[in-house]
Amino acid sequence: MIAPIYHLKRQARLLSRKAKIPLHQALDRIAAREGFAGWSLLAAKAAEISPAARLFARLAPGDLVLVGARPGHGKTLMSLELAAEAMKSGHRSVFFTLEYTQSDVLDRFRAIGIEPQQFGGLFEFDNSDAISAGYIVKVLGSAPRGTLAVIDYLQLLDQKRENPELMDQVRMLKAFARDSGVILVFISQIDRSYDPSAKPFPDIGDVRLPNPLDLSLFSKACFLNKGEIRFQAA
Protein backbone atom coordinates (compact mmCIF):
# COMPACT_ATOMS: atom_id res chain seq x y z
CA MET A 1 0.00 0.00 0.00
CA ILE A 2 1.29 3.47 -0.90
CA ALA A 3 2.03 5.77 2.03
CA PRO A 4 -0.22 8.87 2.20
CA ILE A 5 0.66 11.04 -0.79
CA TYR A 6 0.89 14.24 1.27
CA HIS A 7 3.34 12.54 3.62
CA LEU A 8 5.51 11.51 0.66
CA LYS A 9 5.48 15.01 -0.81
CA ARG A 10 6.53 16.47 2.52
CA GLN A 11 9.39 13.95 2.72
CA ALA A 12 10.45 14.92 -0.80
CA ARG A 13 10.55 18.62 0.09
CA LEU A 14 12.70 17.86 3.14
CA LEU A 15 15.00 15.65 1.05
CA SER A 16 15.28 18.36 -1.61
CA ARG A 17 16.49 20.87 0.98
CA LYS A 18 18.76 18.43 2.81
CA ALA A 19 20.41 16.92 -0.29
CA LYS A 20 20.35 20.24 -2.20
CA ILE A 21 18.72 18.64 -5.23
CA PRO A 22 15.76 19.79 -7.37
CA LEU A 23 12.34 18.85 -6.06
CA HIS A 24 11.58 16.62 -9.07
CA GLN A 25 14.70 14.55 -8.33
CA ALA A 26 13.72 14.24 -4.67
CA LEU A 27 10.23 13.12 -5.71
CA ASP A 28 11.71 10.44 -7.95
CA ARG A 29 13.92 9.19 -5.10
CA ILE A 30 10.93 8.93 -2.80
CA ALA A 31 9.01 7.10 -5.52
CA ALA A 32 11.88 4.64 -5.97
CA ARG A 33 11.84 3.93 -2.24
CA GLU A 34 8.12 3.13 -2.58
CA GLY A 35 8.83 0.73 -5.43
CA PHE A 36 8.01 2.93 -8.45
CA ALA A 37 10.25 3.84 -11.39
CA GLY A 38 9.34 7.52 -11.06
CA TRP A 39 7.10 10.00 -9.29
CA SER A 40 4.65 10.25 -12.19
CA LEU A 41 3.93 6.51 -11.90
CA LEU A 42 3.46 6.75 -8.14
CA ALA A 43 1.21 9.80 -8.56
CA ALA A 44 -0.90 7.99 -11.17
CA LYS A 45 -1.38 5.06 -8.82
CA ALA A 46 -2.19 7.32 -5.90
CA ALA A 47 -4.73 9.21 -8.02
CA GLU A 48 -6.85 6.09 -8.14
CA ILE A 49 -7.47 6.50 -4.40
CA SER A 50 -6.71 10.21 -4.11
CA PRO A 51 -8.27 12.05 -1.16
CA ALA A 52 -8.71 15.01 -3.52
CA ALA A 53 -10.75 12.81 -5.86
CA ARG A 54 -12.90 11.68 -2.93
CA LEU A 55 -13.45 15.26 -1.77
CA PHE A 56 -14.15 16.51 -5.29
CA ALA A 57 -16.83 13.83 -5.65
CA ARG A 58 -18.60 15.39 -2.64
CA LEU A 59 -18.59 18.92 -4.03
CA ALA A 60 -21.59 20.56 -5.63
CA PRO A 61 -21.94 23.77 -7.64
CA GLY A 62 -22.16 26.72 -5.26
CA ASP A 63 -20.07 25.15 -2.48
CA LEU A 64 -17.66 27.19 -0.37
CA VAL A 65 -14.87 24.88 0.77
CA LEU A 66 -12.26 25.51 3.46
CA VAL A 67 -8.89 23.71 3.23
CA GLY A 68 -6.87 24.26 6.41
CA ALA A 69 -3.50 23.11 7.74
CA ARG A 70 -0.39 24.38 9.44
CA PRO A 71 2.46 25.55 7.14
CA GLY A 72 4.07 22.75 5.18
CA HIS A 73 1.28 20.21 5.63
CA GLY A 74 -0.11 20.19 2.09
CA LYS A 75 -3.04 22.59 1.94
CA THR A 76 -1.85 24.27 -1.27
CA LEU A 77 -1.15 20.91 -2.94
CA MET A 78 -4.57 19.62 -1.85
CA SER A 79 -6.26 22.67 -3.35
CA LEU A 80 -4.33 22.27 -6.61
CA GLU A 81 -5.35 18.60 -6.72
CA LEU A 82 -8.97 19.73 -6.44
CA ALA A 83 -8.34 22.11 -9.33
CA ALA A 84 -6.88 19.21 -11.32
CA GLU A 85 -9.91 17.04 -10.53
CA ALA A 86 -12.17 19.80 -11.83
CA MET A 87 -10.18 20.01 -15.07
CA LYS A 88 -10.24 16.24 -15.47
CA SER A 89 -14.02 16.58 -15.38
CA GLY A 90 -13.91 19.20 -18.13
CA HIS A 91 -14.45 22.22 -15.89
CA ARG A 92 -12.49 25.45 -15.83
CA SER A 93 -10.18 26.09 -12.86
CA VAL A 94 -8.74 29.39 -11.59
CA PHE A 95 -6.05 29.90 -8.95
CA PHE A 96 -6.16 33.33 -7.25
CA THR A 97 -3.11 34.03 -5.11
CA LEU A 98 -1.41 36.87 -3.30
CA GLU A 99 1.47 34.58 -2.30
CA TYR A 100 2.78 32.60 -5.29
CA THR A 101 4.18 33.23 -8.75
CA GLN A 102 2.89 31.33 -11.76
CA SER A 103 6.17 29.37 -11.84
CA ASP A 104 5.64 28.35 -8.20
CA VAL A 105 2.18 27.02 -8.97
CA LEU A 106 3.29 25.14 -12.09
CA ASP A 107 6.08 23.51 -10.05
CA ARG A 108 3.52 22.38 -7.48
CA PHE A 109 1.29 20.98 -10.20
CA ARG A 110 4.25 18.98 -11.51
CA ALA A 111 4.88 17.70 -7.99
CA ILE A 112 1.48 16.02 -8.12
CA GLY A 113 2.04 14.70 -11.62
CA ILE A 114 -0.05 17.31 -13.43
CA GLU A 115 0.78 19.46 -16.48
CA PRO A 116 -1.99 22.10 -16.76
CA GLN A 117 -1.32 22.39 -20.51
CA GLN A 118 -2.78 18.94 -20.97
CA PHE A 119 -6.21 20.34 -20.15
CA GLY A 120 -6.42 22.60 -23.17
CA GLY A 121 -6.50 26.00 -21.52
CA LEU A 122 -8.90 25.13 -18.69
CA PHE A 123 -6.44 26.44 -16.06
CA GLU A 124 -6.02 30.14 -15.30
CA PHE A 125 -3.55 31.76 -12.87
CA ASP A 126 -4.23 35.18 -11.32
CA ASN A 127 -1.95 37.00 -8.87
CA SER A 128 -3.26 40.51 -9.31
CA ASP A 129 -2.66 42.91 -6.42
CA ALA A 130 -6.35 43.78 -6.71
CA ILE A 131 -7.57 40.34 -5.54
CA SER A 132 -10.61 40.73 -3.28
CA ALA A 133 -14.18 39.43 -3.33
CA GLY A 134 -15.26 42.10 -5.80
CA TYR A 135 -12.34 41.35 -8.10
CA ILE A 136 -12.97 37.59 -7.97
CA VAL A 137 -16.66 38.08 -8.78
CA LYS A 138 -15.72 40.30 -11.74
CA VAL A 139 -13.18 37.79 -13.12
CA LEU A 140 -15.56 34.84 -12.70
CA GLY A 141 -18.66 36.73 -13.78
CA SER A 142 -19.08 34.71 -16.97
CA ALA A 143 -17.53 31.46 -15.67
CA PRO A 144 -19.51 28.32 -16.54
CA ARG A 145 -21.37 26.47 -13.81
CA GLY A 146 -19.02 23.97 -12.13
CA THR A 147 -15.91 26.16 -12.47
CA LEU A 148 -13.63 25.62 -9.47
CA ALA A 149 -11.64 28.58 -8.14
CA VAL A 150 -8.97 28.40 -5.43
CA ILE A 151 -8.41 31.47 -3.26
CA ASP A 152 -4.97 31.64 -1.66
CA TYR A 153 -5.61 32.52 1.01
CA LEU A 154 -8.65 33.40 3.13
CA GLN A 155 -6.88 35.61 5.67
CA LEU A 156 -5.36 37.88 3.00
CA LEU A 157 -8.63 39.00 1.42
CA ASP A 158 -8.97 42.05 3.63
CA GLN A 159 -5.31 42.91 4.10
CA LYS A 160 -5.78 46.21 2.27
CA ARG A 161 -7.66 48.93 4.13
CA GLU A 162 -9.71 49.82 1.07
CA ASN A 163 -11.18 46.30 0.88
CA PRO A 164 -14.41 45.47 2.72
CA GLU A 165 -14.30 43.51 5.96
CA LEU A 166 -13.60 39.79 5.65
CA MET A 167 -17.14 38.83 6.72
CA ASP A 168 -18.67 41.04 4.01
CA GLN A 169 -16.35 39.64 1.35
CA VAL A 170 -17.10 36.00 2.17
CA ARG A 171 -20.84 36.75 2.22
CA MET A 172 -20.50 38.34 -1.23
CA LEU A 173 -18.61 35.31 -2.52
CA LYS A 174 -21.15 32.91 -1.02
CA ALA A 175 -23.99 34.71 -2.76
CA PHE A 176 -22.05 34.73 -6.03
CA ALA A 177 -21.24 31.01 -5.76
CA ARG A 178 -24.88 30.18 -5.04
CA ASP A 179 -26.14 32.18 -8.02
CA SER A 180 -23.43 31.16 -10.50
CA GLY A 181 -22.77 27.53 -9.54
CA VAL A 182 -19.05 28.22 -9.17
CA ILE A 183 -17.20 26.23 -6.48
CA LEU A 184 -14.88 28.34 -4.31
CA VAL A 185 -12.03 26.69 -2.39
CA PHE A 186 -10.38 28.82 0.29
CA ILE A 187 -6.91 27.91 1.56
CA SER A 188 -6.80 28.79 5.25
CA GLN A 189 -4.21 29.27 7.96
CA ILE A 190 -4.55 27.49 11.28
CA ASP A 191 -4.15 29.32 14.57
CA ARG A 192 -0.77 28.95 16.25
CA SER A 193 -2.52 27.81 19.43
CA TYR A 194 -3.44 24.51 17.72
CA ASP A 195 -1.57 21.69 19.48
CA PRO A 196 -1.22 18.49 17.39
CA SER A 197 -0.22 16.56 20.50
CA ALA A 198 -3.62 17.35 22.02
CA LYS A 199 -5.71 16.36 18.96
CA PRO A 200 -4.58 14.76 15.70
CA PHE A 201 -6.29 17.20 13.34
CA PRO A 202 -7.15 20.89 13.47
CA ASP A 203 -10.83 21.64 13.01
CA ILE A 204 -13.12 24.54 12.27
CA GLY A 205 -12.41 26.01 15.71
CA ASP A 206 -8.68 26.23 14.91
CA VAL A 207 -9.01 28.44 11.83
CA ARG A 208 -6.97 31.61 12.33
CA LEU A 209 -9.32 34.60 12.40
CA PRO A 210 -7.54 37.94 12.73
CA ASN A 211 -10.89 39.51 11.84
CA PRO A 212 -14.47 38.36 12.59
CA LEU A 213 -15.91 35.71 10.26
CA ASP A 214 -18.94 33.44 10.49
CA LEU A 215 -17.44 30.08 9.53
CA SER A 216 -20.91 28.60 8.95
CA LEU A 217 -20.78 30.44 5.61
CA PHE A 218 -18.64 27.53 4.39
CA SER A 219 -20.43 24.37 3.29
CA LYS A 220 -17.53 21.91 3.56
CA ALA A 221 -14.10 21.75 5.18
CA CYS A 222 -10.95 19.67 4.87
CA PHE A 223 -8.09 19.65 7.38
CA LEU A 224 -4.63 18.15 6.96
CA ASN A 225 -1.91 17.10 9.38
CA LYS A 226 1.21 14.94 8.88
CA GLY A 227 0.06 13.52 5.58
CA GLU A 228 -3.42 12.60 6.79
CA ILE A 229 -6.73 14.25 5.87
CA ARG A 230 -10.04 14.71 7.62
CA PHE A 231 -13.23 15.97 6.00
CA GLN A 232 -16.01 17.63 7.97
CA ALA A 233 -19.08 19.74 7.51
CA ALA A 234 -18.28 23.37 8.18
- Domain residue limits at 98: 51-233
Which carries the bigger pLDDT value, residue 184 or residue 229?
A: 184
Phi and psi of 150, rounded to 5°?
-100, 135
Q: Count CB neighbours of 203 within 10 A.
A: 15
Q: Are residues 96 and 44 in the same domain?
A: no
pLDDT tens-place string over residues 4-24 = 666 788 789 899 999 999 999
Q: Are residues 102 and 178 in the same domain?
A: yes
pLDDT tens-place string over residues 64-103 = 999 999 998 889 999 999 999 999 889 999 999 999 999 9
Helix (DSSP H) and strand (DSSP E) numbers for the chain: 8, 7
Q: Are residues 8 and 67 in the same domain?
A: no
Q: Are residues 92 and 203 in the same domain?
A: yes
Q: Are residues 70 and 141 in the same domain?
A: yes
Instruction: Flag whether the pTM goes above 0.85.
Output: no
Provide the terminal-to-terminal Cα distance of the chain, rounded to the nearest Å.
Answer: 31
Q: Are residues 88 and 39 in the same domain?
A: no
pLDDT tens-place string over residues 32-75 = 998 999 998 888 777 666 788 888 888 999 999 999 999 988 89
Question: Of all helices (H) and strands (E), which one includes residue 95?
Answer: strand 93-97
Q: Are residues 89 and 33 in the same domain?
A: no
Q: Left, alpha or beta for 231 (phi > 0: left; psi -120 to 50: alpha)?
A: beta
Question: How far apart are alpha carbons 56 and 79 in whole angstroms?
Answer: 10
